[in-house]
A and B are shown apart, each in its own frame.
Chain A
Amino acid sequence: MSPKTLYDKIWDAHLVDATEDGTSLLYIDRHLVHEVTSPQAFEGLRMAGRGVHAPDKTIAVPDHNVPTTPDREKGIENEESRIQVEALDKNAREFGVNYYPVDDIRQGIVHIVGPEQGWTLPGMTVVCGDSHTATHGAFGALAHGIGTSEVEHVLATQTLIQTRSKNMKVEITGELHPGVTAKDITLSVIGKTGTAGGTGHVIEYCGEAIRKLSMEGRMTVCNMAIEGGARAGLIAPDETTFDYIKGRPHAPKGAQWEAALAWWKTLYSDDDAHWDKVITLDADEIAPVVTWGTSPEDVLPITGTVPNPEDFTGGKVEAVKRALDYMGLTPGQKLADIEIDTVFIGSCTNGRIEDLRAVAEIVKGKKIKEGIRAMIVPGSGLVRAQAEEEGLAEIFKDAGFEWRLAGCSMCLAMNPDQLSPGERCAATSNRNFEGRQGRGGRTHLLSPAMAAAAALTGRLTDVRELMAESEPA
């Protein structure tokens, strides 16, 4: 047998039909659904008199529009948001799919709920009408975002029409320094490849630094594969993966667990597999990073300065001019001098328990800078409960953070959590596009530890400085 990549193996195991021109029908093991990209798909089914092919493999949860303030049981004030969430409620119940409504403690961001409940397993194909479906690749599952027409296609047939992607390997060698996290890895990779560097490819992340990451960290890395343009991100499953999965509500049990484990252990790229593209980064050279512009590729170590448009070539020159104007920054300005108004900690990129622990470690016993608006939005009701049990919530509240309920929140500001024009935010989310967090809002992407540091000082800050302070003399 010819050597295969992990992607090839999963692809081959899910091929229903292939035609000579390369168009293939791929079976989908898990279909995650949220309220924003699904109403038209369910409506399409109704109009055509079609049903959901595999409701037991379909999981729905509202996340984008839900308020995250403690009074949310009062309901959703915005009429359109409310209608959208009500539509999901109606569709989920009518078509009989697995469903976590707003008032269920398991509700949260779809990409956090899926793994948490054990729906996402190695070797699966996972889709969702959401680009950050890439997150699930952390389990060695082939997971990618689809449009609403494709959502309807998967609902009706449990398959997707696909053409095979190319294979790209991103290897992170060596060990990360203290204060450097999964978020810094994934942003640094995008800084190196650009936001179109992965277009047409599925990325497999590997190397010592990736192996040493927890599942939470791996999800952060894969989550932003889409920001590098890739169709999906993958990490081969190992003991870390199996330990995370074992005992989760929808994970296999008993003899099935053993059978699953035997197959999962075959899910890796063969030694001499072919790669269409290879990128290598040395973890030793990765620093805590922040974005300065309006594309996730606009990333630099916190020790750097705002670049000059003339340092770039082609269409990027104009793009950087536009970005600096939008961001209100001047070339040469130190990144660590940039003052912020707001801190947002959460999202499918960094809304998991480990992210919250990292924040607590930095802010414990301290106060956020006066005048800063800072909120922590856990990725699910269960993450929130765990943080409360571990005493993290008290640390956050004592430091002056708002402690919210689960949802997508200010990552894309479809609910009331939004930036005002010109408001500058240090955010642990995934996109710094113009207007992403609110019209005219200015976003700097960074890790949870870096966001915590920014909340304390009121400016973008090298978290390593604060870590040095808290070490015993």
Chain B
Amino acid sequence: MDKFTKITGVAAPLPLINIDTDMIIPKQFLKTIKRSGLGVNLFDEMRYLDDGSENPDFVLNKPAYRKAEVLVAGDNFGCGSSREHAPWAIKDFGIRCVIAPSFADIFFNNCFKNGILPIALPQEQVDVLMKDAEKGENARMTVDLEAQTVTTSDGEVFSFEVDAFKKHCLLEGLDDIALTLEKTPAIESFEARAEMERPWV
């Protein structure tokens, strides 16, 4: 997994609540058997018109935001299905950090498995960051995972919370399957005990 330490980049504002995973990556793109190449279809139905051309009004099609690395959005981001294609598409586009007042659980988890940092901040702080993002490409935001801070283009600093284990994995780019496999003896002793206690399982 790619490490996430510190990024400074353009933040795109997407001030909608309940952005669901069908919006992030519609189902016709779930037919892939790969993880890569989904960035071009990120937010597909909002990003492209019926004839397939780009919708010039959509934020990621505007010249200032075509290389956005941060996304600032409304409440309950990533609700809906468990499709990891959503973070895959976000990452493939080049966005490494999503900031919103709240996230749906499964999406939130999936981000950490893919080197993306989701940050939940109070609504009033997200409002400030949304305004900052609306300034365009000269306004670059800094996200520092080690320090757990987001810094606006004006130098205003907000601190965020992050689970210690998830932070560690993201900073080091760790493969958590390898970490868990180190605990195989504990898994096997659990299985032996469970076989005695609940043999029908």
Contact = CB atoms under 8 A, between A and B. Distances in A.
Interface of A: 16-17, 19, 21-23, 25, 27, 29, 36-37, 39-40, 43, 48, 50, 53, 57, 64-65, 78, 80-81, 83-84, 87, 121, 123-124, 129-131, 133, 144-150, 152-153, 156-159, 161, 163, 195-196, 199-200, 229, 231, 252, 256-257, 259-260, 263, 295, 314-316, 318-319, 322, 412-414, 421, 431, 433-436, 439
Given A21-B165, A37-B82, A147-B87, 19 more contacts: A16-B190, A37-B83, A40-B35, A50-B177, A131-B106, A133-B82, A147-B113, A148-B84, A159-B187, A161-B165, A161-B176, A195-B18, A196-B75, A199-B104, A256-B200, A315-B75, A318-B15, A434-B22, A436-B27
Contact of A199 (B102, B110, B163, B164): B102
A259 B196 CA distance: 11
B17 interface: yes
B33 interface: yes
Contacts of A21: 163-165
A64 B75 CA distance: 29
Contact of A131 (B50, B82, B198, B199): B82
Contact of B45 (A161, A315, A434): A434
A16 B183 CA distance: 9
B31 A414 contact: yes
Contact of A156 (B34, B50, B82, B181): B181
Interface string B4-48: 000000000001111010110011101111110000000001000
B26 A439 contact: yes
B118 interface: no
A199 B76 contact: yes
A244 B23 CA distance: 38
B152 interface: no
A363 to B, nearest CB: 29
Interface residues of B, number: 56
Contact of A27 (B18, B102, B113, B190): B190
Interface in B51-77: 74-76
Interface string B70-95: 00001110011111100100000000
Contacts of A413: 27
**Interface pairs A-B: 3 shortest CB-CB:** A252-B200, A149-B113, A80-B31
Contact of B16 (A25, A319, A412, A431): A319
B16 A121 contact: no
B114 interface: yes
A121 B201 contact: yes
Interface of B: 15-18, 20, 22-23, 26-28, 30-35, 45, 50, 74-76, 79-84, 87, 102-106, 109-110, 113-114, 123, 163-165, 176-177, 180-181, 183-184, 186-187, 190-191, 194, 198-201
A156 B18 CA distance: 33
Given A37-B82, A131-B81, A315-B15, A414 B28 contact: yes
